Chains A and B, each alone.
Chain A
């Protein structure tokens, strides 16, 4: 009963790893600028090798993130596996119903746990929120990075606005990663201390049955 099932392919895992590294570096180097007046900001800037090195690190990590994004787009457009994964991530009405059912289940109004497919509403929210965040961050970041060229095109307030967006979305990314992503994959009782599938791709059959029953049924059928 406790067999292992491959949940994430190697390409999928590599994409996650690249995203993880680039976002981690971006957060560290960005946070230290936003909070440069605090002790932790100063320590981070020191560890990053000074103020200008911090900027370089931020830009290099940004290019890694953009590279990962392009890699991902190619994956979901041009590979069969990618298209299948993307289809499974498209939000449906069922996700909203699942969300309501989950809440009712948590407070004890419904006895039956909602049955999730390959990606539950929680994972879909993760995917789409991060996608939206990356899009905003790349656009506003590019405006900030190329402000010297864009001064010829955009009025100054566009650059101020980009700065505001960049800073706030970054805050939201950090909050979302900690309170949603980390909770779901690390701290929630069903995955504590962590779900190792991001590394080796495998999950327990038991875990899959409990958390993604519809997919479990489909795998068992074939």
Chain B
């Protein structure tokens, strides 16, 4: 008899087991009054059933609920109950919880400020994998997820070419986490941050030096290389942080192409943009090319000068070497025949 009960228990699906919880929590108007306010305790079970945790029962996470109905308020659960290194239930860990501990969010949390934890971004009962279009961390949904708190930044981001790209279905376009990272988000003044002036170029380069992505979006691939060879790029590489990095001119959340009149790099706005650092910048700064290597034909006159000098320098080397060889040849020939 004992074995039979055990067998019946084992054969129960999570759904069968959860049914007991849902007797109450499955009712839409179920709730309690706490601190004079009504607090809904309704759980949309469909959310859980389609989440990554569909195999688990309610009490797997709410593990302080031993008897149902429970008489005490269950403690707040934490993802680290399972998602820690060496857990036995097979919860994937990777290094994310560790990375989160380093982040500005975790730091704020430790200081007692309001800051997101795992479930603020990943959802509570509806945790879905990042490639699920309904997931809160699906590429297209990330701006809304972060924008729950960062409303101003979200508004600014939504006019950007990156968001326009996402809307057009180019999912390689950057959303929040492509630049800020996700778990180990750090403030720009932290030297480890992807947004630190020292690292900005490398952050943008991840996509802007990627041939496939740039081909898809039609943005010239050589721009990053040309920037790195420019004086700004070299100075930055050597830690001169007052030199302009990508964001100094392009801004960051509301990045727009030079064809857009709202863009700081639109020819009409360049004088003002360059003028932030170069006090005498006038309309002249728009007369010329930017982010173009001298060996590219688009560089115009600079290209022709570059090409001329390339050939000329080679000719000079050849001429001088021939001169040396002739001179040595003459000297040794005369020495051999004893001529003076």
Are A36 and B238 in touch, CB under 8 angstroms? yes
Are B287 and A105 in touch, CB under 8 angstroms? no
- B313 on the interface (CB 8 Å rule)? yes
- B78 on the interface (CB 8 Å rule)? no
Are B317 and A175 in touch, CB under 8 angstroms? yes
Q: Interface range on chain B: under 10, 10 to 19, 20 to 34, or 35 or more?
A: 35 or more
Interface string of B282-302 (1 = CB under 8 A from A): 101111111000100001111
Interface string of A27-65 (1 = CB under 8 A from B): 000000100110000000100001110000000000000
Q: Chain A residues near B274 (CB, 8 Å)?
A: 151
Provide the main secondary structure of the chain B interface: helix
| Partner of A152 from B284, B290, B301 at Cβ < 8 Å | B284
Q: A33-B234, A175-B313, A189-B328 are in contact. Are A151 and B320 (CB under 8 A)?
A: no
Are A151 and B317 in touch, CB under 8 angstroms? no
Are B280 and A152 in touch, CB under 8 angstroms? yes
- B79 on the interface (CB 8 Å rule)? no
A187 to chain B, nearest CB (A): 8
A110 to chain B, nearest CB (A): 10
Are B306 and A164 in touch, CB under 8 angstroms? yes
- A160 on the interface (CB 8 Å rule)? yes
- B8 on the interface (CB 8 Å rule)? no
Q: Which of B4-57 contact A (CB under 8 A)?
A: none
Interface segment, B141-149, B179-187, B329-337? Answer: B329-337
Provide the main secondary structure of the chain A interface: helix
Are A176 and B286 in touch, CB under 8 angstroms? no
Are B313 and A168 in touch, CB under 8 angstroms? yes
B331 nearest CB neighbor, chain A only: A189
Q: A172-B316, A175-B317 are in contact. Are A50 and B330 (CB under 8 A)?
A: no
- A73 on the interface (CB 8 Å rule)? no
Separation of A115 and B200 alpha carbons in the complex (Å): 64
| Partner of B329 from A106, A168, A175, A190 at Cβ < 8 Å | A106
Q: Chain B residues near A45 (CB, 8 Å)?
A: 238
| Partner of A164 from B288, B302, B320 at Cβ < 8 Å | B302
Q: Chain A residues near B323 (CB, 8 Å)?
A: 180
Interface string of B249-286 (1 = CB under 8 A from A): 00000000000000000000000001000111110111
Are B280 and A148 in touch, CB under 8 angstroms? yes
30 examples of A-B residue contacts, CB within 8 angstroms? A36-B238, A51-B235, A51-B240, A105-B330, A106-B326, A107-B326, A148-B279, A151-B281, A152-B281, A154-B284, A155-B288, A156-B286, A156-B290, A159-B288, A160-B289, A160-B302, A161-B301, A164-B305, A164-B306, A164-B309, A168-B309, A168-B313, A171-B313, A172-B309, A172-B313, A172-B316, A175-B320, A179-B317, A188-B328, A189-B328
Given contacts A106-B326, A107-B330, A160-B302, 7 further A-B contacts (CB under 8 A): A36-B234, A52-B240, A106-B330, A106-B333, A172-B313, A180-B320, A188-B328
Q: List the 10 shortest-distance A-B pairs measured between CB atoms, nearest first.
A: A156-B288, A106-B330, A155-B287, A51-B238, A179-B320, A157-B288, A168-B309, A152-B280, A106-B326, A155-B284
| Chain A contact residues, CB within 8 Å of chain B | 33, 36-37, 45, 50-52, 103, 105-108, 111, 147-161, 164-165, 168, 171-172, 175-176, 179-180, 183, 188-190
